[in-house]
Structure 1
């Protein structure tokens, strides 16, 4: 039976723009594929969502099966704090992730975040540090084709409130397969750990990295 809080969240989710819902379901699909390939038992893992968003949509979905989920973002719905198995870290990832103990998580994911940060390599080094050996890191960021779609399709036709324009205007970079690979290597990940592919109808570049068991 669904709780009252779940019903309230579903009502709030249903009011979100169609594009936001589509993005959520595409990201959820990508994460499920990644988890299936990693062969990890969700019931036994601790997950970190860097840039979870105010509503923590993905946190809510994953909390039903993971041992624990932790969301990190500037501003997070306080209602999330009271939920079982959901933890929150409020702040700028570039400033607060360094305070998290090393090897704290089995899975870390970062969805549509890397394009906003000032120093991707510095942040990814911290991600690698908090990831346990054999842990999985999933990162997704807009491609140059995604930039075209955002500016020529999403903003003119799906952004009546102007909220997406505010986000797009804070983008500091876009990625190709090779440029994302390079920042991951510069962050300390090893080439054989990194699997990169286009995603979301070529609008994004995704990488799935399994940290080697002998990695420091």
Structure 2
């Protein structure tokens, strides 16, 4: 994800279902394509609500030449997100940071992209639009490389502070620190679509590369803009008012040539174009287990003596536990779970040994921010994997499955879009509960009460009421993509 990965939910409470409307018959426009300048055969295909609803509907056209999609009058209508100063003054902003860190910032799909590179040859890297800087920190920690990030939003400021990593709070053309510098590797994920002149941007990035350096970029693909794409997914691809355009694979290849790159590997994965660009032939390698690499990263983070924010350290402990269980990596499970228990109690005054008290506190929360003040955003995922570990060694799983289901359900109720991954863990936890013998399942009054609370919560979640809803289809497809992406 780039610099705009997590934003505050709209106060309007509008659902994605109503945010995009297709034209029955595409209409011609004489507006030039923002990307290639073509004026022939351009058609307005849909209207989409600006991310800031007060700005109304935007018209989106498809280029008859390069096949990219672009917003009409984009240079006038693109609206910047709140300034870094404004976000930093917002007392709730820190919880968006915790959300991003605790759900590991997309490392599950970024690591396989990064690990295809011959990184052992690299001496330095630059990540443009690094957000909080988790992928940057991964490269610095695991690759042992000189790493620098560039992030003009408040996410970069807080990331530099919380992870103790070098992030410049500026755009490329403003950063004095980049003058006369060259890097072995540059990484920019979901950034290109946010710039008004993609060719100039690619040329600028190329100027920061060493002669044998590699640029890795990801960007949404225009081939995903069609009526079969679910509304939520489509709206995320378009990001009206934030994205100037959505490139075609063909046009990205053309832009890379125009920018001077002599070699490219450009692939399509789901809705995303992945491009490795260089002046010399690019050799991509097979990747090792993503979960094992994540385990190594989080192991290094929790082993460091650097003083970290307690909440950040707890999130890293939880992510280490989860990735170690998923990768079957031997670890001191008892020691790590005890650390998690202690920090969890210290920060939230809650205990896993008092499941009904925990359930009651969680169930009282009504917003994404209230939820994050009460428990970590990754709690349901941790509880599920804790139960899986205990079941795997034939130990009692206690109330971990029931709590995992309850916390997951509540997270979906307060903000389905931001925490949609918990839908998978809700279903998995419920499946494990149902697989227990009926006598065992109903022997504990606490278990019965926890399941009743969960059922009450899930009954109020619109996205779960009708399995044919587009939103639910989107969640299932997205999660499947996250599970399978780039696995060898």
Q: Which residue of 2 aligns with 1:29?
A: 112
- CA change 1:165–1:40 in 2 (3 A) is closer
For 2:159 and 2:188, how far apart are their aligned partners in 1? 22
Q: Which residue of 1 aligns with 2:253?
A: 181
- CA change 1:62–1:145 in 2 (3 A) is same
Q: Which residue of 2 aligns with 1:121?
A: 199
Per-residue deviation, 1:26: 1.5
Structure 1 segment 9-158 matched on structure 2, within 5 A: 12-13=99-100, 15-16=102-103, 21=105, 23-33=106-116, 35=117, 39-41=118-120, 44-53=122-131, 55-64=132-141, 65-75=143-153, 76-78=156-158, 80=160, 86-93=165-172, 95-96=173-174, 100-102=178-180, 104-147=182-225, 152-154=231-233
Per-residue deviation, 1:28: 2.5
Per-residue deviation, 1:13: 3.8
Per-residue deviation, 1:166: 9.9
Q: Which residue of 2 aligns with 1:194?
A: 264
Name structure 1 gaps, 5 residues minimum.
1-9, 157-163
Task: Give the TM-score, by structure 1 length.
Answer: 0.70
- CA change 1:124–1:165 in 2 (3 A) is closer
**For the aligned residues, what is the CA RMSD?**
3.3
For 2:134 and 2:163, how far apart are their aligned partners in 1? 13
- CA change 1:123–1:14 in 2 (3 A) is closer
Per-residue deviation, 1:11: 5.7
Q: Which has the higher contact order (CA 8 A, sep 6+)?
A: 1
Per-residue deviation, 1:138: 0.6
Name structure 2 gaps, 5 residues minimum.
1-96, 282-488
Per-residue deviation, 1:25: 2.0
- CA change 1:15–1:83 in 2 (3 A) is closer
Q: Which residue of 1 aligns with 2:276?
A: 208
Per-residue deviation, 1:96: 2.5
Per-residue deviation, 1:154: 3.6
Per-residue deviation, 1:12: 4.5
Does the aligned pair in 2 maintain the 1:81–1:88 contact within 8 Å? no
Q: Show CA shifts across 1:150-209 (max 9, x none).
A: 8613478xxxxxxx699553111112221001111111212xx1111112x2x1111112
For 1:79 and 1:141, how far apart are their aligned partners in 2? 23
More strand by share: 1
